[in-house]
């Protein structure tokens, strides 16, 4: 996604809501919520869901205003535009959209892009290595309260939800994520573990931990036997 996509809807001649101005107030590289959540790409997906034709979406997105308010997102497309001195009627739009719709688009996108075949086991039971497209790799760590990833997008998502408390609340209450940041590498691990939801992730993670402990104990016992003593003798020292 090009870096200027967050700016694509920052029409200077429009007065944005206070919340939007606050999001824009950060320096350009720090427009995390606008970049990750409320971008034109995501809006395109929503218009598609609402039955807009490809052509209407294409023209509409050239003239759209996406105003992120505290509790919702206001979308506006004028119903006529001036092109080469001529006034043309286009499909207009003026509506408030739930932030949940944008969070859902983000989750769906990350799930679609997640690929368990690009994973390798890490050096510990709770770690995976995710291979990027350009030979780079990231580490996913399965923690009990969430999984984390060392990639750039994960950090961006974290900052995006930090900038938007309402969106974060939605992510927390979401039956699939329960607050898990929707990073494609983490969803790849979910797929690998056959987990569809965060609750399933926690369950499978626990099973993995238990069998790791079991394996370690068995291994430890074997080593003791090789050393020529069993547990009974050991306590006698
Ligand atoms: Zn990642």
Residue-level pLDDT at 185 = 97
Residues 103-129 have a mean pLDDT of: 96
Pairing of strands 86-89, 137-142: unpaired
pLDDT at 206: 96
Lowest mean pLDDT across 14-23, 42-51, 169-178, 221-230: 221-230
CA of 56 to the centre of ligand 1 (A): 34
Q: How far is the CA of 186 from the centre of ligand 1 (A)?
A: 6
Per-residue three-class SS string for 21-61: HHHHHCCHHHCHHHHHCCCHHHHHHHHHHCCCCHHHHHHHH
Per-residue pLDDT, averaged over 73-84, amounts to 92
Q: What does pLDDT average to over the chain?
A: 89
| pLDDT band, very low/low/confident/very high, at 236 (cuts 50, 70, 90) | very low
**Among 57-61, 83-87, 144-148, 178-182, whose mean pLDDT is lowest?**
83-87
pLDDT at 45: 97
Rg of the chain over all Cα atoms, to the nearest angstrom: 24
Tell me the torsion sign for CA atoms 143, 147, 151, 152: negative
CA of 10 to the centre of ligand 1 (A): 28
How close is the Cα of 133 to the center of ligand 1, in Å? Answer: 12
The pLDDT of residue 208 is above 70? yes
Question: What does the domain layout of the chain look like in residue ranges?
Answer: 3-104, 114-226
Which residues does residue 68 pair with via DSSP β-bridges, in sequence order? 73
Q: How far apart are CA 205 and CA 126, in angstroms?
A: 8
**184 C-alpha to center of ligand 1: Å?**
6
Tell me what pLDDT residue 189 has: 97
């Amino acid at each position: 996604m090009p870096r200027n996509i967050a700016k694509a809807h920052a029409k200077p001649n429009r007065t944005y809501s206070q919340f939007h101005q606050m999001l824009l107030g950060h320096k350009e590289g720090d427009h995390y919520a606008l970049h990750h959540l409320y971008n034109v790409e995501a809006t395109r997906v929503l218009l598609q869901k609402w039955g807009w034709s490809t052509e209407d979406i294409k023209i509409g997105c050239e003239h759209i205003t996406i105003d992120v308010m505290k509790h919702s997102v206001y979308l506006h497309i004028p119903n006529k535009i001036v092109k080469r001195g001529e006034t043309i009627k286009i499909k207009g739009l003026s509506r408030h959209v739930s932030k949940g719709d944008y969070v859902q688009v983000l989750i769906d996108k990350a799930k679609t892009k997640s690929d368990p075949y690009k994973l390798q086991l890490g050096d510990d039971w709770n770690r995976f290595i995710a291979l990027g497209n350009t030979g780079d790799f990231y580490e996913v760590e399965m923690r009990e309260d969430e999984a984390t990833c060392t990639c750039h997008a994960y950090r961006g998502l974290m900052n995006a939800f930090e900038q938007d408390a309402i969106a974060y609340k939605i992510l927390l209450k979401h039956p699939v994520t329960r607050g898990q940041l929707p990073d494609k590498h983490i969803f790849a691990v979910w797929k690998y573990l056959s987990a569809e939801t965060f609750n399933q992730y926690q369950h499978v993670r626990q099973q993995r931990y238990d069998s790791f402990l079991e394996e370690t104990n068995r291994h430890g016992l074997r080593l003791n036997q090789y050393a020529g003593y069993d547990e009974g003798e050991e306590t006698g020292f």
